[in-house]
Structure formats: C-alpha cells, structure tokens
C-alpha cells in the first residue's frame, strides 16, 4: 500500500474522540544515528532483527518518502530543533568535527570566533514546549555545539544526559582523540556501562519522573554510528582514533539490534507509567547509512545527496489518531516533524522565524492529499558542495568538488536507484529545477 490508498485501507480516522483527560499528548522522539533506510525489518532488511521497531510500525504509520534535512548529523538536528532549513543558521551544513572543529569555510570561521553551534535566539522546539508547560528531556546525542552557550539546557531542555559531540566510545565515553564526552546537564560525568544502555536508562527514568505532566523526550541514540562496538565487547582502552571506522556489518547489526531492545524499554516505560495511549512516538534516522548500513533499494551513502544519503525510515504512532499499520508515501522531511509537534503541543514559532516545515501529521490524520512541494538540500564539507532539489518525481543534483562540477537529473518514480542520468535528454526539466534551487539558496543564506 502507499499514500492515501494505504491510509484509506487502514480505516477512516475521525477527529480524536473527547478524552477523559484533556491533557495534551506527550511526545517521545527516538533518533537513530546513521541508520540506513533498509536497516529495519519493516523496511525489508533481511539480516538485522528489529522486532520492537517493526511492531511500532504495525501500530502506526510507516513513511516511505521521508527525507533527512541533511546527509549528516548536525544539519538534520539543527533543522529538527528549529523547524527551519539549517542554512538559515549558518555554519551547520556539515557535522561539527570532534573537538569543536569546523569542516568548511563558514564553520571554520565561526569555530575560530567560538560561535559554532545552534544560537539560543534560534528558538528550539524544546524551548517552545518548555514555555508551554511541558517537561523536556534529551537523552543521548546533541551535536549542536560544544560551547556552554550552545548547551541543551540553554535551548529549553530541563534535563540532558549524553554526549555533546557527534560520537563517543560506547564503553569509555570518549571522543576519538580520547577526550571524555559524557555529560549530565552541564557537567561532565562518569558512568559505567554501554552507551546505548545508559541512554535508554535515562530515558526510562525521565518518563517515570514526569508521567503526571506532559513531556517531550528526545532519545537520541548514538547507535549504530561508529565506533563499531558490540554490547559486551569492552576493551581495556578506548578505540584508537585510527580504528574508529573499522568494523563489520555484523558489528553494525548487533548495535542496531541492541538499540531496538532499548526502544522496547522506552515503550514499556510508557505503558507502565500509564501514558502510552496519550503519547506520540516518532522514530527516525538522522541521515542515511554508511558503507556498513543498508540503504536499499537506493544508491549512495551518508554524506551525499543521492537517495541513500538522505532517504530515511520514519515511523509515527499515535493511538486513536494516526491509522495503525498504514504506509504513507507523502513527501516529507525532518523539519516537518517540528511543525507537527508544535501543533500537537499547541505552540507556535516566533513570528520572525516561521517554520519551513509543514504539519505532515495533520495531513495524514485528515487523509489529505498533500499539495505539490519542492524540497531543497545543500551540504558542504571542505571543498565539496552538494546541492539538490526534488519536485514530484524529478530530482536535480549538483556536486562541486573544487573546480569539478557534476550534474544529475533523475526521475525517481522510474529510477529510484538513480542509475540513469537524464540531464542531456531532459534539459527543460533540469532548467525548471535549477532556478528554484538558486532562488532558495539565495533566500536561506545566512551570515553570522
């Protein structure tokens, strides 16, 4: 099933019935790190067992045309926090390097000024919900700035436990250079245990503490991001920097399966707290998989704008509101979830920073056929810049590396693996996408 037909087959969804408790729903957002589109059983994965997430999909809506805002961690997370294209912020179009390193000219400039991160005046969804009375927690990965002024606590989270940067040794909780990176609120902390388990435990504890009030919980796992360490495989010393990306598909699978187990504990905590029926649960990945991941049926990997780098799994469960067991091919992107969460919580962005995302969940709740839209991407690292736009089934991509420029045009309905470049055969179609891409790039450009 796909799109509106899938939603209709799942049953007509009326406006939510009046509840005995008029509380606004709580929201649990679970983010996997570098999980490929095809790395879950419910997305056709043959070699990784994910029974919990698969069951979640059977209880809610599974998106098949959902995109990350960027092909790396930081850009997508910036868009998720603000509901806006990350290009509007400046410096966050590439993952912040370990140790607070900028990886392209604008990010390097901001790092030198100690300004590389998500500014507080970019009002986050956590701040919006906190101001509306929600308890707010982040358990896991932040990756939106190392400086104290960019801390999750400055952005509206009441509670933070996790890593400030993009990655950490799963047992020693250090970055590749060996620096400790585990924090509790705004202080470094030492804990024994596998990082995936520690994140899960903190999430479960947050639910137990805040079950009486509405809450927003962001569970940002670092799994299955490198280093590729299976649970129970602790060594005396952290993984050396030179071996950080060394691992096998089997290691990656074990990490993903353990994350699935953690998601099960989070869902069980909602049941035990008696709030599962009034909680929206969202599961996504921040970008496509690496060479250890499975992005099938698409080509490309994390870091690039072919489908495998940005097409990601997305599952939403909202009992009594979202149809169960449905599949949606609505064209959607990470920042759409921000707009949906805001509407669910009854909050709005600042007037001077309207959302770029659309309320995708409202469209599905009301079985609306979405209006045609364009989605845009730009990703930078070093001397390489990717740009892309999708409208309907057409997708135009440029990849500039130094002085070399490559251009591509694909029809994703006919060629989802992006094997046949139609640029020379369909130049008018390419031109029809080039101009909106250039206009978008000019409109969102930011200089801090």
Say which of 45, 94, 143, 314 is annotated catalytic: 143
Say which of 45, 73, 94, 139 is annotated catalytic: 73
Q: C-alpha angle with apex 353: 365 to 102, nearest 5 degrees? A: 105
Q: Which of 292, 294, 287, 320 is closest to 386 using CA atoms?
A: 287
Question: CA 445 → CA 86, 93, 400, distances in Å?
Answer: 10, 11, 18
Q: What stretches of 86-168 adopt beta strand conformation (E)?
A: 135-141, 159-163
143 in active site: yes
Element spanning 219, H or E: strand 215-220
Q: C-alpha angle with apex 307: 47 to 40, nearest 5 degrees? A: 25
Helix/strand/coil for 9: helix
CB 320, CB 52: distance < 8 Å: no
* CB burial of residue 288 (10 Å; 0-12, 13-18, 19+): buried
What pairs with residue 140 in β-bridges? 162, 220
Helix spans in 273-320 (H): 307-310
73 in active site: yes
Catalytically active residues are 73, 143
């Amino acid at each position: 099933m796909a799109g509106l037909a899938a939603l209709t087959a799942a049953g007509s969804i009326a406006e939510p019935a009046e509840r005995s408790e008029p509380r606004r729903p709580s929201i649990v957002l679970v983010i996997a790190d570098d999980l490929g589109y095809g790395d879950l059983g419910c997305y056709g994965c043959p070699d990784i067992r994910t029974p919990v997430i698969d069951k979640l999909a059977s209880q809610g809506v599974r998106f098949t045309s959902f995109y990350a805002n960027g092909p790396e961690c930081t850009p997508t997370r910036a868009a998720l926090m603000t509901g806006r294209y990350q290009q509007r912020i400046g410096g966050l179009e590439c993952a912040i390097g370990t140790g607070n390193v900028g990886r392209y000219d604008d990010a390097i400039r901001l790092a030198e000024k100690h300004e590389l991160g998500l500014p507080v005046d970019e009002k986050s969804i956590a701040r919006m919900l906190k101001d509306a009375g929600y308890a707010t927690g982040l358990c896991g990965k932040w990756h939106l700035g190392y400086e104290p002024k960019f801390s999750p606590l400055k952005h509206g989270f009441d509670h933070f436990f996790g890593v400030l940067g993009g990655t950490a040794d799963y047992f020693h909780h250090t970055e590749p250079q060996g620096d400790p990176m585990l924090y509790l609120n705004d202080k470094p902390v030492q804990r024994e245990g596998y990082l995936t388990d520690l994140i899960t435990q903190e999430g479960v504890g947050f639910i137990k503490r805040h079950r009486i009030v509405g809450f927003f919980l962001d569970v940002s796992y670092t799994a299955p991001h490198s280093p590729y360490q299976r649970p129970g495989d602790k060594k005396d010393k952290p993984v050396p920097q030179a071996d950080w990306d060394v691992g096998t598909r089997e290691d990656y699978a074990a990490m993903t399966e353990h994350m699935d187990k953690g998601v099960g504990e989070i869902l069980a905590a909602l049941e035990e707290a008696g709030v599962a029926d009034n909680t929206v649960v969202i599961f996504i990945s921040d970008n496509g998989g690496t060479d250890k991941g499975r992005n099938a049926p698409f080509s490309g990997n994390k870091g690039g704008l072919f489908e495998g780098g940005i097409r990601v799994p997305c599952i939403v469960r909202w009992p009594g509101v979202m149809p169960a067991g449905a599949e949606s091919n609505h064209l959607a992107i990470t920042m759409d979830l921000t707009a949906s969460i805001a509407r669910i919580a009854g909050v709005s962005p600042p007037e001077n920073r309207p959302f770029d995302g659309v309320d995708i969940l409202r469209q599905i709740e009301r079985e609306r056929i979405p209006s045609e839209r364009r989605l845009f991407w730009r990703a930078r690292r070093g001397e390489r810049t990717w740009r892309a736009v999708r409208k309907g089934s057409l997708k135009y991509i440029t990849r500039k590396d130094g002085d070399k420029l490559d251009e591509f045009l694909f029809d994703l309905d006919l060629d989802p693996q992006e094997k046949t470049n139609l640029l020379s055969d369909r130049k008018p179609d390419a031109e029809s996408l080039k101009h909106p891409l250039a206009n978008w790039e000019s409109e969102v450009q930011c200089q801090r």
